[in-house]
C-alpha cells in the first residue's frame, strides 16, 4: 500500500488504534530499552539479597529496565520500586502529548477511531483528553491511579489526595490504604480485635511483568469484541514492537473477524517474525510522529483542494451537481478529489481565489469537461 492509500483509509474509514511506548518517546518519556544512565537504572546496596537478574556496577547492584517492572521486585526490593515509580510519576507529570497523541485524539473526536488501545501506563492520552475518555483503553493500567492490594480501592487523585502520597513513595515506602484504615477504625469502635485485620497498601494501578489482572483483561476483550461489530477497516499499530504477551491474540482476532480489514504497523523497527509477517499487511518503518506529519500534509492538501470547489462562483457547476455524477465511472484519485470534506473536518479559513487561481482553470473544470457536464 502507498502511504496515501493508508491516509485515505484513516481519513474516510473507521479504525482501531493500538499504541505502545514509541508514541510517547517524543513527549520525553524514556523507554527502558534505552537510557544507560536514565531513570530506568537504579542502584541498590550490594548486600541486598536481590534475586533479580542484575548487573553489578561499583559496590552496588544495578537494576535495569524490565527488572524494575517485574512483579518479583515487590518481594525482593519493594523500596527500590517505590522510589523508582515515584521518579517515573514525577517525570510523566512534566510531559506533554506528542503529535501522535494529538492525531489519535483528532480521529477519536471526528468519529473515525473507534477505540485507542494503549499499552502505555503514562496516561498521556487521558491527561489531555477533554472528552471521549471511554474511547481509550489502558491495557496495562494507569500510573496516576493508586490501588489497594487488599480491598481493591482505586484512588484517582493523581497521588495528591487525601494525603501527599509522593512523599511516602519517595522514602521507599508503600502508603497504607485509607479505606482499609477506616475499616479498621470502625472495627475497633465495634470492639473487634484489630490484629485479625491487615491493612492493605497502595501501589500504582499498573500491570507489572508476571502479573495478571483478570478484570482488566476481560474488560478489554469484551470491548474489543464490541468494536469489531462496527466493522473497522483498519487496525493501526503505532510505536510498538508487539513483544507484550496477549497482544497477538487481539491482532489475530481482528484478522479473523474483519475480512476486508487492513493491519498496518508504524514503527521505527521492522518486525521480522514470520507470524507477524502473516498477520500484518503493511509495515511502515518510521517514527510515528513522522507518519503523522505526512498525514497532516496530505490532509491539508485535500482540504485545500475541496475548498476550491466550495468557493466556486455560482456560474460553475455546484457541488450538488458534482454529487450527481456516476462516480463509478471516475478513477479513484478523481473520486477522492470530488468528495466533500466531511463535517467533522476542522474548518480551514480559505483565502479568496483570484482569477488566475479560479477552479475554472484548474482540475475541477477539466474533470467536469471530461465528464461532459
* Binding of Zn ion by 124 (CB under 5 A): no
- The CA angle 94-100-101, to the nearest 5 degrees, is 55
Cell numbers for 291: 507518519
Q: Which of 10, 3, 15, 17 is nearest to 342 (CA)?
A: 10
Closer CB to Zn ion, residue 172 or residue 178?
Answer: 178
The reply on whether position 148 binds Zn ion by CB under 5 A is: yes
**Which grid cell sits at 69?**
517492572
Cβ 211 to Zn ion shortest distance, Å: 18
List the catalytic residue out of 89, 101, 140, 305.
Answer: 140
Count interface residues toward Zn ion (CB under 5 A).
8
Pairing mode of beta strands 113-118, 136-138: parallel
User: In whole angstroms, how close is the CB of 90 to Zn ion at the nearest point?
Assistant: 24
**Smaller CB distance to Zn ion: residue 29 or 180?**
180
Contact criterion met (CB below 8 Å) for 146 and 166: no
DSSP letter for each residue of 228-279: HTT--SEEEEES----STTHHHHHHHHHHH-TT-EEEEEESS----HHHHHH
Cβ contacts of 113 within 8 Å, gap of 6 or more: 14, 15, 16, 17, 104, 107, 135
Cα–Cα distance between 180 and 314 in angstroms, integer?
A: 72
Active site residue 140: yes
Cβ distance to Zn ion smaller for residue 200 or 359: 200
Q: What angle do CA 364, 365, 366 make, to 5 degrees?
A: 95
User: Which of 180, 235, 322, 338: binder of Zn ion (CB under 5 A)?
Assistant: 180
Q: What length does the chain have?
A: 373
Q: Of these, 8, 179, 205, 289, which contacts Zn ion (CB under 5 A)? A: 179
Which lies closer to Zn ion via its Cβ, residue 68 or residue 201?
201
Give, as one character, the DSSP assignment of residue 209: B
Q: Per CB under 5 A, which region of 23-31, 118-126, 180-188, 235-243 contacts Zn ion?
A: 180-188
Beta strand 234-238 pairing with 136-138: unpaired
113 annotated ligand binder: no
Interaction of residue 285 with Zn ion, rule CB under 5 A: no
Binding residue for Zn ion, selected from 175, 200, 232, 364, defined by CB under 5 A: 200
Q: Which stretch binds Zn ion (CB under 5 A): 150-158, 239-247, 251-259, 326-334?
A: 150-158
177 is a site residue for Zn ion (CB under 5 A): yes
User: Which residue of 150, 166, 255, 268 would you call a contact of Zn ion, by CB under 5 A?
Assistant: 150
Strand 141-148 versus strand 282-285 pairing type: unpaired
C-beta closer to Zn ion: residue 73 or 180: 180
Span of 37-45, 55-63, 143-151, 304-312 interacting with Zn ion by CB under 5 A: 143-151
Is 129 known to sit in a ligand binding site?
no
> Residues forming the annotated binding site for Zn(2+)?
148, 151, 177, 180
Residues that bind Zn ion (CB under 5 A): 148, 150-151, 153, 177, 179-180, 200
Residues annotated catalytic, as ranges: 140
Amino acid at each position: 500500500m502507498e502511504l496515501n492509500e493508508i491516509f485515505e483509509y484513516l481519513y474516510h474509514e473507521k479504525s482501531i488504534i493500538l499504541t505502545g511506548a514509541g508514541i510517547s518517546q517524543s513527549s520525553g518519556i524514556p523507554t527502558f530499552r534505552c537510557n544507560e544512565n536514565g531513570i530506568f537504572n537504579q542502584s541498590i546496596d550490594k548486600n541486598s539479597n536481590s534475586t533479580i537478574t542484575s548487573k553489578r556496577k561499583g559496590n552496588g547492584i544495578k537494576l535495569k529496565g524490565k527488572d524494575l517492572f517485574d512483579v518479583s521486585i515487590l518481594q525482593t526490593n519493594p523500596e527500590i520500586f517505590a522510589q523508582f515509580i515515584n521518579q517515573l510519576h514525577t517525570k510523566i507529570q512534566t510531559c506533554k502529548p506528542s503529535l501522535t497523541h494529538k492525531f489519535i485524539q483528532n480521529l477519536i473526536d471526528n468519529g473515525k477511531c473507534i477505540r485507542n488501545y494503549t499499552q502505555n501506563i503514562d496516561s498521556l492520552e487521558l491527561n489531555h483528553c477533554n472528552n471521549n475518555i471511554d474511547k481509550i483503553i489502558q491495557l496495562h493500567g494507569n500510573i496516576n491511579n493508586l490501588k489497594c492490594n487488599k480491598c481493591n480501592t482505586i484512588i484517582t487523585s493523581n497521588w495528591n489526595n487525601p494525603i501527599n502520597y509522593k512523599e511516602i513513595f519517595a522514602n521507599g515506602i508503600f502508603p497504607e490504604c485509607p479505606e482499609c484504615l477506616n475499616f479498621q477504625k470502625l472495627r475497633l469502635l465495634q470492639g473487634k480485635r484489630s490484629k485479625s485485620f491487615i491493612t492493605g497498601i497502595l501501589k500504582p494501578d499498573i500491570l507489572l511483568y508476571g502479573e495478571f489482572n483478570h478484570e482488566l483483561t476481560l474488560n478489554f476483550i469484551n470491548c474489543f469484541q464490541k468494536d469489531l461489530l462496527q466493522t473497522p477497516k483498519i487496525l493501526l499499530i503505532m510505536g510498538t514492537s508487539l513483544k507484550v504477551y496477549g497482544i497477538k491474540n487481539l491482532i489475530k482476532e481482528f484478522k479473523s473477524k474483519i475480512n476486508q480489514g487492513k493491519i498496518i504497523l508504524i514503527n521505527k523497527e521492522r518486525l521480522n517474525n514470520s507470524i507477524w509477517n502473516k498477520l500484518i499487511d503493511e509495515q511502515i518503518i518510521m517514527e510515528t510522529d513522522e507518519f503523522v506529519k505526512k498525514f497532516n500534509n496530505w490532509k491539508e492538501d485535500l482540504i485545500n483542494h475541496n475548498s476550491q470547489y466550495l468557493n466556486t462562483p455560482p456560474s460553475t457547476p455546484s457541488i450538488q451537481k458534482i454529487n450527481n455524477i456516476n462516480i463509478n465511472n471516475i478513477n479513484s484519485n478523481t473520486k477522492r478529489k470530488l468528495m466533500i470534506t466531511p463535517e467533522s473536518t476542522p474548518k480551514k479559513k480559505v483565502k479568496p481565489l483570484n482569477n488566475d487561481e479560479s477552479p475554472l482553470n484548474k482540475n475541477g473544470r477539466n474533470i467536469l469537461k471530461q465528464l461532459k457536464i
